[in-house]
Amino acid sequence: MALAGLPAEGSQPKEYVAALPAPHVAVAAGKPQSIKLRFRVSNGFHINSNMPHSAYLIPTKLSLSPPTDVGIGKITYPPGKDIALPFAPDEKLNVYSGEFAISANVSSVRTATPGQYKVHGELSYQACNDRACFPPKKLPVSFDVTVTKSRVAAEGTQPGAKPARSSPIN
């Protein structure tokens, strides 16, 4: 059975890259968490890494559009693998093939309403095989974020809570 977006054996792929099921991430308001989004490149293909060796090559890029009250911090790409192809044996290409993962920091504002949120985005890439490169594509991605109450925020709003006092210095 083929994953969504990946071709059946012997056919030309509709998508050269598939997003694997995304993990669920829970964040306490004001406390960032990391999520690892995994992707699989179809057999016989590669995509340029996020840092290709040439300015003429299209880098892989993950763009995320979080809803209000959810934020996306640093996105971290894996290192690519240097390969040489038969038509240009002296030129190394920095690529992803097989499975690879991109990490992103997810957070919420301290005043976020606890609940379920969905982050949408896209992976922009250009796929190639050992003979040709194909037009750039964009693969939709999404994942769920659950925002929970932060313990610090909850302690500060409890009725009868007293502020902490420091002891005097003698």
Q: Are 139 and 17 in contact (CB under 8 A)?
A: yes
Average pLDDT over residues 10-18: 72
Tell me how many helices (H) and strands (E) the chain has: 1, 12
Burial of 89 (0-12, 13-18, 19+ CB in 10 A): exposed
Cα–Cα separations (whole angstroms), residue 107 to 32, 111, 116, 117: 4, 12, 13, 11
Q: Which of 15, 25, 46 is nearest to 122 (CA)?
A: 15
d(CA 84, CA 58): 17
| pLDDT tens, residue by residue, 64-84 | 999 988 999 999 999 999 998
| pLDDT tens, residue by residue, 96-151 | 999 999 999 999 988 888 999 999 999 999 999 988 889 999 999 999 999 998 65
Q: Which CATH architecture has domain 17-151?
A: Sandwich (2.60)
The predicted pLDDT at position 15 comes to: 81
Judged against a pLDDT cut of 60, whether residue 3 lies above it is answered with: no
DSSP secondary structure string, 8-20?
Answer: PTTS--S-SEEEP
